[in-house]
Chain A
Amino acid sequence: MKMESRSHEAHDASRVEVVSFRGLRVFVLMVVLVSCAVMFFTTDTSGARNGLIRGRVALRRAAPPAERRPTVAELGAPAERDRSDRRQSVVYLEAAPRGAFEQSEPGHAVMDQHNETFVPHLLAVTTGTIVAFPNSDRIYHNVFSLSKAARFDLGRYAVGRSKSLRFDRPGIVRVFCDIHSHMNAFILVFSHPFFAITDVEGRYRIDNVPPGNYNVIAWNEGLFSEPRPAAVPDGGATELDFVLR
């Protein structure tokens, strides 16, 4: 009885080992299956890799910075202020893959008011982005827009304060100051992420573009280029230059 008992104990012990070994195999198998599923749903089933579009937007002449209205009624010359750089452009895909519109969390951006200038002068964001408008001047500013894409008025607030706004509709938002008529800026709101702001020399690069054929548009200070076709190869780059103004 005692032997049997020992034998049963040993058997039971081996069963425990066998069961443990089988559990490990099931676990590994599940990990492999889940990994495959993740890979299946997050990668190109055809094996295609995203590419990019890059190039340069050349401006025949840059838009001049907004000047103050002639200060005829002032008792003296107004204080010096910064001048916004209007050489930057935005390049974007005219139409985008449907998956581009899936977005989970809002982005954040900042448009400062410094030395009677909006900084930066140009923002390009996706829908849902929350833009903060801090006032870094010792004087009041009053940010507002009457654009269809976003009609708002943040009121007057002093240095150190900031107000934020969520941009939910795609389009062009012209931003002004109600007190200083020379202050203006642009916010371009896109419903997909396939856009880029050029550097001051006009260079741009739109990354992670799925392979395919697209129309690409360049924009600068209210001026649009004609849509230009671009074929993005599998995992490759397409060069596309624009000339505006």
Chain B
Amino acid sequence: MRILPFRGRALGTLVTVVTLGASLPAAAQTLPNDPIVFGGGRVTIGGDVSATFSCADSDEVETGRCPGDGGFFNYTDYEHSALRMLRVGVTAAVKAGNRLSLLGELRSENAGTPQPYALYVRIRPWTSRAVDVQVGRVPPTFGAFARRTYPADNVVIGYPLAYQYLTSLRPDALPANADELLRMRGRGWRSNFSVGDTAPDRGLALVSAFRWDTGVQVHAANDFIDGAAAVTTGTLGNPLVGDDNAGKQVAGRIALRPTTGLIVGLSAARGPFLTRGASERAGAARGAGRFTQTGWGADLEFSRDYYLVRFETIVSDWRLPVINAPTIDLPLRAVSTLVEGRYKIRPGLYAAARLDHLGFSTITGSTRRDQWDAPVTRVELGGGFSLQRNLLLKLTFQHNTRAGGRVTRVNLGAAQIVFWL
């Protein structure tokens, strides 16, 4: 550094009262920043806490000062809304040398009992090659959204429809005919059919963002491409720990990085989704492996300077046993498409938006021809403000419409505070 001249002791005695102690704050951050590390760097523990609350303008179902999501647009089952949730997650990685790691995540929702969200062993057979084998409850191979754990990575508060919205289809219950399926349009949070388990329960999302599947996953990567393949017990919409139909799902994904900032991904998965019990009740026990969920996905992310744009589309086909007339036109297809973007307005402040649509194929009942579930469109606008590097406040407005069901429109205002380390 350049040294400045001085005028001697006379001036030197005029020591200023400006002190660095006053200008250097004791700590620039007030909450912990980094994950906890111990055992000589072998054990790393991170975590995140998010609290989300929302109020709807809909007075069709709920009344009061702050009505909830009366249309169940954001519910992950009959009781839990993704927009009224306290979520605590603890992640851990234990390294046992260069080739072996144990990774896991415990998560609690609304102060409930912590559940193992992820628990698997990561093996690197060749330390010099970016090839990994993961065994256990592994991250989703399919799609892009479900692996984004960095909480700020979800640009708004709500989940994409494909990963959260519950269709009326269930793995353990079956509609006897097309009329029965059409009667359940727009009621995925509490669906019931006459074949299999007849108790009302939640339906399936196209891809579950709330549970991970169990199996073996292989991943290889270089600077321009990475690929992964997995064989797992459950399916995209119904990840499992224990098998319920003796069938395995096969999933694969390829992601290309043609240039910095651009990622193009393609995914596919196929596996039997119907439980053994439901197949037996449908009189199709021998062909249980034919009743599959097949998914295709394409995703794109481009970012530069202060903006980020993402696109993701997912097509899912389900095949069910044909039981009675009027028969269901198979496969039952659902197509979701989302576009989202984020722009940083100034340091620590961004604006974001997501446009999301979920549509369904058409079937023919006794009296009408219609989409087998009610199409849903969601627009969410908002932004986030970083109170510190790892403490983020988000505010959004969400507009939901559905072409069917008891409640066809819900507007929600939502707030979320997220902390992670």
Q: Residues of A with Cβ closer than 8 Å to B?
A: 41-46, 48, 50, 64, 66-77, 79, 92-103, 107, 125-126, 138-140, 144-149, 151-153, 155-159, 169-174, 176, 178, 181-182, 184, 188, 190-193, 195, 207-208, 210-212, 217, 219, 222, 224, 227
Contacts and interface: CB of A to CB of B under 8 A. Distances in A.
Contact of B421 (A69, A102, A159, A195): A69
Given A72-B118, A77-B122, A210-B6, A94 B347 contact: no
Interface of B: 1-21, 23-29, 33-35, 37, 41, 44-46, 91-93, 101, 103-105, 118, 122, 124, 130-132, 134, 139, 141, 146-150, 152, 217, 219-221, 223, 226, 228, 253, 260-261, 303-306, 344, 346-348, 386, 388-390, 420-421
Given A74-B139, A170-B24, A224-B26, A95 B15 contact: yes
Contacts of B388: 146
B15 A96 contact: yes
A69 B35 contact: yes
A146 B389 contact: yes
Contacts of B15: 95-98, 212
Contact of A138 (B5, B6, B260): B260
A103 B4 CA distance: 7
Given A67-B44, A217-B20, A75 B228 contact: yes
B91 A69 contact: yes
Contacts of B93: 70-72
B348 A146 contact: yes
Contact of A75 (B9, B25, B141): B141
Q: Which of B6, B149, B261 has its CB near the most chain A CB atoms (within 10 A)?
A: B6
Contact of A139 (B46, B122, B260): B260
Q: Which of B14, B124, B149, B420 has its CB near the most chain A CB atoms (within 10 A)?
A: B149
For the complex of A and B, list the 6 residue pairs with the smallest distance between their C-beta atoms, beginning with the closest.
Answer: A76-B132, A44-B8, A70-B93, A76-B219, A158-B260, A69-B46
Contacts of B124: 77
A150 to B, nearest CB: 9
Nearest to A125: B1
A42 B5 contact: yes
Contacts of A43: 8
A63 B126 CA distance: 31
Contacts of A188: 24
12 contacts: A69-B421, A70-B92, A73-B148, A79-B130, A94-B20, A99-B12, A140-B260, A144-B347, A146-B386, A148-B28, A156-B306, A157-B305
A159 B260 CA distance: 8
A86 B8 CA distance: 37
B11 A99 contact: yes
Contacts of A224: 24, 26
Contacts of B141: 75
B262 to A, nearest CB: 10
Contacts of A73: 118, 139, 146-149
A94 B5 contact: no
Contacts of B217: 75
